[in-house]
């Protein structure tokens, strides 16, 4: 029997999301989520997709090891257990791969050590990712574990885009440079956009706008990323649900020296209490649009600031690429919020960009064009699928050996 199943694990600090896929037809066999790990109110939600309906477990799940064991038990109940000979590998989302990891990588001790070494630049994410990998290794030590890095797609950025204009020695000593994130999504979506246009990825230039609760833009030339809006951390760039995106770094000195805030307080302010939530109290675009439609001025201003920043990045990446074949919207906001798409390209007819209002308003699950038929530049909606991309990259790396 050829092993064709890949388990994808996305381990956060208090959660584990997972999907089991069969790479013969890229179908999902089961999906699920364990949340609030370590609390009394932990919850596991498991959905086998071949029938049987969603099952839930509640009650304390103390740590990642228990969480993964519980997931394994649920999979087992569906005949999809981790000890199945059909399981070929486990693919792990790892947020920060630094400059070193440019490709998906089979995990060994050296890889674990490098992911650990990157913790200072990804203190929130890499420790949880490491715990997930180590736990999976302990459950199936014989199985290849593959790390798929959020930063990898962006390692093709030229130095001119990847470096901050600060003292080179200091930057290098502390690994301060622009790494970018959401790379699996930008890779998947830019490739899917080329397919939608009926062209090879090498032949198209695409601006990808990944607009979820976290948000980032990328400029992709011929399938390779040449610039992206997130930097050393996911804080830089677009206005996000709770993150500020770009600001003058002196805001931080000012808040510390004049405002008396501590570094941790500023960190929390900019990452958790800024962006849309900081501007209007809501970070869900559905709620913000409802408020805008009701005439709420604060929500209107938040929406306008969000769109202004987005437009600036579209313009900047247009200039970076020189020629643009498609502007593509993806993730929760990008896939669902027609008013955001409309406002983001409004007034950009001079750049060949426009949306057809009827196509933009249509709902649909698949990749679709929303620009008028005669548009110079295609505008598209492409649903992202990071789990499928992680599974695809994992299977491409180890599938044949399974
Ligand atoms: P993500 O991080 O990709 O899961 O995106 C989550 C965000 O997508 C939410 O915080 C909402 O702001 C947004 N979102 C989800 N569904 C919709 C919708 N139907 N209309 C507008 N925004 C949506």
Rounded Cα gap, residues 230 and 185, in angstroms:
13
Question: Is the shortest distance between the CB of 284 and ligand 1 below 6 Å?
Answer: yes
Q: 150 an active-site residue? A: yes
How confident is the model over 116-143, as a mean pLDDT?
91
* Location of structure tokens 């609760």: 213
Domain boundaries, the chain: 5-149, 199-386
Q: Nearest-CA neighbor of 151 among 90, 212, 101, 217?
A: 101
Ligand 1 atom closest to the Cα of residue 384 is 3
User: Cβ(242) to ligand 1 under 6 A?
Assistant: no
Average pLDDT value for residue range 209-234? 97
- What's the average model confidence in pLDDT over 228-241? 96
Report which of 31, 39, 79 is spatially closest to residue 55, judged by C-alpha positions. Answer: 31
Evaluate if residue 402 carries a pLDDT over 50: no
Selected catalytic residue, list 22, 25, 150, 246? 150
- Overall residue count recorded for the chain in this entry: 402
| Bridge partner list, 216 | 210
List, edge to edge, every strand of the sheet that includes 215-221: 224-228, 215-221, 205-211, 326-330, 378-381, 368-369
- Spatial distance between the Cα atoms of 275 and 283, rounded to a whole number of angstroms: 8
Does ligand 1 have an atom closer than 6 angstroms to the CB of 234? no
Residue 1 pLDDT: 62
**Do residues 380 and 368 touch, judged by C-beta distance below 8 A?**
yes
pLDDT on residue 364? 85
Q: Which two tokens stand for residue 290?
A: 């409802």
Pairing of strands 224-228, 205-211: unpaired
Task: Yes or no: say if 386 and 21 are a contact pair by the CB < 8 Å rule.
Answer: no
| CA neighbor of 188 nearest in space, from 136, 222, 153 | 153
Q: Give the separation between CA 358 and CA 381, rounded to whole angstroms.
A: 14
Ligand 1 within 6 A of CB of 384: no
**Ligand 1 atom at minimum distance from 241 CA:** 10
> Could you say which architecture CATH assigns to the domain 5-149?
2-Layer Sandwich (3.30)
Query: Which residues have C-beta within 8 Å of that of residue 319, sequence separation ≥ 6?
Result: none
Q: For residue 293, is pLDDT > 60?
A: yes
- pLDDT (tens digit per residue) in 337-348: 999 999 999 999
Q: Which atom of ligand 1 is nearest to the CA of 214?
A: 2
Q: Over range 15-40, report the average pLDDT.
A: 95
Q: Could you give the CA distance from residue 232 to residue 165 in angstroms, rounded to a whole number?
A: 13
Q: What whole-number distance in Å separates Cα of residue 105 and Cα of residue 32? A: 24
Q: Which two tokens stand for residue 210?
A: 């990944």
Same fold, 5-149 and 199-386: yes
Give the residue, by CA position, lying nearest to ligand 1 atom 4: 332
Checking if the pLDDT of 401 tops 60, the result is: no
Element (H, E) at 85: none
User: Which pair of tokens denotes residue 287?
Assistant: 């709620």
Q: Are 129 and 94 in contact (CB under 8 A)?
A: yes
- Nearest C-alpha neighbor of 201 from the set 211, 216, 187, 217: 187
Q: What is the pLDDT of residues 312-331, one digit of tens each?
A: 999 999 999 999 999 999 99
CA-closest residue to ligand 1 atom 11: 284
Superfamily of domain 199-386: ATPase, nucleotide binding domain (3.30.420.40)
Using the predicted structure, report yes or no on whether residue 291 has a pLDDT greater than 90: yes
Write down the pLDDT at residue 400. Answer: 63
Strand, coil or helix: 224? strand
Q: Is the pLDDT of residue 184 over 80?
A: yes
Q: What is the mean pLDDT of residues 163-167?
A: 98
Q: How many CB atoms lie within 10 A of CB 186?
A: 29
Query: Which residue, judged by its Cα, is nearest atom 23 of ligand 1?
Result: 333
* Residue 213 beta carbon below 6 angstroms from any ligand 1 atom: yes
């Amino acid at each position: 029997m050829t092993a064709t199943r890949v388990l994808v694990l996305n381990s956060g600090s208090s959660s584990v999301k997972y999907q089991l896929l069969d790479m013969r037809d890229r179908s999902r066999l089961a999906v699920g989520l364990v949340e609030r790990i370590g609390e009394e109110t932990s919850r596991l939600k498991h959905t086998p997709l071949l029938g049987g309906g969603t099952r839930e477990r509640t009650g304390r799940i103390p740590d990642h090891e228990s969480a993964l064991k519980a997931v394994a038990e649920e999979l087992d109940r569906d005949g999809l257990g981790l000890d199945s000979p059909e399981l070929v590998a486990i693919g792990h989302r790892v947020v920060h791969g630094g400059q070193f990891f440019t490709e998906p990588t089979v995990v060994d001790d050296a890889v674990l050590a490098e992911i650990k070494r990157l913790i200072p630049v990804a203190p929130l994410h890499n420790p949880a990712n490491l715990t997930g990998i180590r736990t999976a290794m302990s459950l199936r030590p014989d199985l290849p574990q593959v790390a798929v890095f959020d930063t990898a797609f962006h390692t093709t950025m030229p130095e001119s885009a990847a470096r901050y204009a600060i003292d080179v020695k200091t930057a290098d000593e502390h690994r301060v440079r622009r790494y970018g994130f959401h790379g699996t999504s930008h890779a998947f979506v830019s490739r899917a956009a080329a397919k939608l246009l009926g062209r090879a990825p090498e032949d198209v230039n695409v601006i990808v706008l990944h607009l979820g609760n976290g948000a980032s833009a990328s400029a992709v030339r011929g399938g390779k990323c040449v610039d992206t809006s997130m930097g050393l951390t996911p804080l830089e760039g677009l206005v996000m649900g709770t993150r500020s995106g770009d600001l003058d770094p002196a805001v931080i000195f000012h808040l510390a020296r004049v405002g008396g805030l501590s570094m941790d307080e500023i960190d929390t302010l900019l990452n958790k209490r800024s962006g849309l939530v900081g501007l209007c109290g809501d970070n869900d675009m559905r709620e913000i649009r409802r408020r805008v439609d009701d005439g709420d001025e604060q929500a209107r201003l938040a929406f306008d600031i969000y769109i202004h920043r987005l437009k600036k990045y579209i313009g900047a990446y247009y200039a970076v690429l020189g020629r643009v074949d498609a502007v593509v919207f993806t993730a929760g906001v990008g896939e669902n919020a027609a008013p955001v798409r409309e406002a983001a390209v409004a007034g950009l007819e001079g750049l060949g960009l426009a949306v057809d209002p009827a196509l933009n308003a249509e709902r649909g699950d698949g990749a679709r064009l929303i620009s008028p038929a005669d548009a110079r530049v295609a505008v598209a909606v492409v649903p992202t699928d990071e789990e499928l991309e992680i599974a695809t990259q994992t299977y491409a790396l180890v599938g044949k050996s399974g």
